[in-house]
Amino acid sequence: MRIGELARVTGCTPRALRHYEEQGLIAATRAANGYREYDDVAVTRVRNIRHLLGAGLTLDDVQVFLPCLDGDVAAAPPSAAGLRVGRERLAVLDARIAARIAVRDRLAAALRDAAATLAGEDTTSPAL
């Protein structure tokens, strides 16, 4: 199948498919006219890549799962490398969430202080 059909079947863009190919996650052969042609296994592989990306992994993380991308990646037995990557990605996400919560808390405090200033109360924090 050509790239447009693979994109349609998997809900992916042709640009993303070309990027996956550049990253070595999927492979295509070239027709005589230069068009990319994918086999039926590419559908499963792209769906698995999208599943892993949807779980918060990056394309670099997905590389670890190459051996099982052609099957049911969600049902595959866990591997030590896969668990390590998942834990590392979770730690990154937790750190990002904590940082965003800290920013939110600072904004909420500044808004409380600004509202108190408007109400005539004394505050030591800078107002917005």
Q: Domains of the chain, with CATH numbers?
A: 1-77 (1.10.1660.10), 78-128 (no CATH)
Rounded Cα gap, residues 68 and 29, in angstroms: 21
pLDDT digit string (tens) for 71-128?
998 888 889 999 999 999 999 999 999 999 999 999 999 999 999 999 886 556 555 6
Rounded Cα gap, residues 93 and 86, in angstroms: 10
CB 21 within 8 A of CB 27: yes
Full-prediction pTM beyond 0.85?
Answer: no
| Token pair recorded at residue 105 | 């808390």
Rounded Cα gap, residues 63 and 54, in angstroms: 15
The percent of residues in the chain predicted with pLDDT above 70, rounded, is: 94
pLDDT digit string (tens) for 30-85?
999 999 999 999 999 999 999 999 999 999 999 999 999 999 988 888 899 999 99
User: 12 in helix, strand or coil?
Assistant: coil
Q: Is residue 2 packed enough to be buried (19+ CB in 10 Å), middle (13-18) or exposed (0-12)?
A: middle
